[in-house]
């Protein structure tokens, strides 16, 4: 809910914000893998000051990004990951 309030304060309407987020979410999987990782990194960096818990999450995300970039971990296609989530419900 805070994100909606911040969006409104910035002059965005909630509908426009949701439409934009939905579009980004739909298009992101079509980007090359390196571009998706860059997008994740940019979103993390742009989210601003962090609490202690957020710093831990950022550190974990950054370490996972590095694992992917180094080749230590292999990615799973988003379709497969979503299918696994749906099957677990």
In angstroms, the CA 61 to CA 40 distance is 9
Q: What is the pLDDT of residues 72-83, one digit of tens each?
A: 988 888 999 999
CA atoms within 13 A on the CB side of 19: 5
Task: State the burial class of residue 64 (Cβ atoms within 10 Å of its Cβ: 0-12, 13-18, 19+).
Answer: middle
| Whether pTM exceeds 0.85 | no
> What is the per-residue pLDDT across 4-41, written as a single tens digit (0 to 9) for each?
556 656 665 566 666 788 888 888 889 888 888 888 88
């Amino acid at each position: 809910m805070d994100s909606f309030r911040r969006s409104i304060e910035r002059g965005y309407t909630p509908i426009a914000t949701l439409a934009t987020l939905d579009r980004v979410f739909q298009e992101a999987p079509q980007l090359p893998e390196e571009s998706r990782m860059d997008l994740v990194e940019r979103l993390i960096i742009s989210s601003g000051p962090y609490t202690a818990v957020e710093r831990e999450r950022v550190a974990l995300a950054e370490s996972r990004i590095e694992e992917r970039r180094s080749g230590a971990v292999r990615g799973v296609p988003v379709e497969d990951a979503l299918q696994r989530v749906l099957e677990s419900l």
